[in-house]
Amino acid sequence: MNKTRSITKYFTALEQSEGVGAKVRRSIGSQELRNFTPFLMLDHFSVSPPAGFPDHPHHGQETITYVLDGMIAHEDFTGSRGVLRAGDLQFMTAGKGIVHSEIPVELESGAPAVGLQLWVDLPMHLKDCEPRYRDLLNREIPSVRPKPGLEVRVVSGESYSVKSMSELAYTPVHFYHFITRKPDTAFEQYFPSSFNVFMYVLKGSVMVNGRTFAQYSSVFFNTDGSHVEGSSTSEEAEFVLVGGEILRQPVLQYGPFVETSKLKMYEVLENYQSSTNGFERAQDWSSSIAHGVVYGDVEKIESNK
């Protein structure tokens, strides 16, 4: 089935407040689209100190954080800590439970931390797995330039015969960052038929299936084709194309907790409140970064990973 995927839905992600003083443009997880299996949320964030995402829990999901500009420090109750720079990614599996903090580094330039955070559902049999982190540094991400004016950063998956370093999430996810540097630059990207696929426009504008989508557009595709294709319509454009394996299971979400039934959700909430069954380390834990991180702290944080 070598045909292009048709579009099922599209809209512009509107800015809203989230965390402590942070601004995000939410597409998946908004009133426009509650979820798009396996994806639960997509936030395009811009966070300037002292705003951030201080100590908070997760269960039953994975998060993928892609820093586009600035720096973000992170720390969790397992002792994991570090700093993500522009071009770096982090794949976090919350599994049965984790509490962590994500705080932008205060830079001398005053520039905010900008990036994408994607929440991905875990298959039912993995919701109680042990938490884990995998960082993917900018230099570890292969890129391909298949034609003049087109570059693809292959975060996860394969694009124009270039493969990513490895699969970094339990739920199979393919993640590509497309960059075009002149108008009318054509592109195409193939996905497995078992994947849901969406596009988010970071910069400029892109034409897909005869329709032009401007900055902050979120475009969702049907599973009726083998690939997505289109072309840039602005001098420069950047967008991500992301696909994930469809999970045929119920989705029950209560904030950062994700389960498949009310009974399981009650159990998770009780575990968190009583600091048991995965949340033992949450009792009396607080991160060292929740109240802010200055650039001079970065070396210290990284040396104590």
Residue 58 annotated as part of some ligand binding site: yes
Q: Which residues contact 37 (CB under 8 A, 6 or more apart)?
A: 121, 196, 244, 246, 247, 248, 251
What are the backbone angles phi and psi of residue 126, rounded to the nearest 5°?
A: -115, 5
C-alpha 215/C-alpha 178 separation (Å) is 14
Backbone dihedral region for residue 167 (phi beyond 0: left; psi -120 to 50: alpha; all else: beta):
beta
Residue 102 annotated as part of some ligand binding site: yes
pLDDT of residue 60: 98
CATH of 7-245, one of 2.60.120.10, 3.30.420.240, 2.60.40.2890, 2.60.40.1150: 2.60.120.10
SS3 state of residue 291: coil
Q: For the segment 68-94, what is each residue's pLDDT rounded down to a tens digit?
A: 999 999 999 988 889 999 999 999 999
Q: For the segment 223-277, what is each residue's pLDDT rounded down to a tens digit?
A: 999 999 999 999 999 999 999 999 999 999 999 999 999 999 999 999 999 999 9
70: DSSP letter: S
Share above pLDDT 90 across residues of the chain, in percent, rounded to a whole number: 83
10 Å CB burial of residue 304 (0-12, 13-18, 19+) is: exposed
Residue 291 annotated as part of some ligand binding site: no
Would you say residue 168 has pLDDT above 80? Answer: no
CB 169 within 8 A of CB 123: no
pTM for the complete prediction? 0.95
Q: pLDDT band for position 298 (50/70/90)?
A: confident
What are the sequence ranges of the domains in the chain? 7-245
pLDDT of residue 1: 65
Residue 227 annotated as part of some ligand binding site: no
Q: For the segment 84-135, what is each residue's pLDDT rounded down to a tens digit?
A: 999 999 999 999 999 999 999 999 898 899 999 999 999 999 999 999 988 8
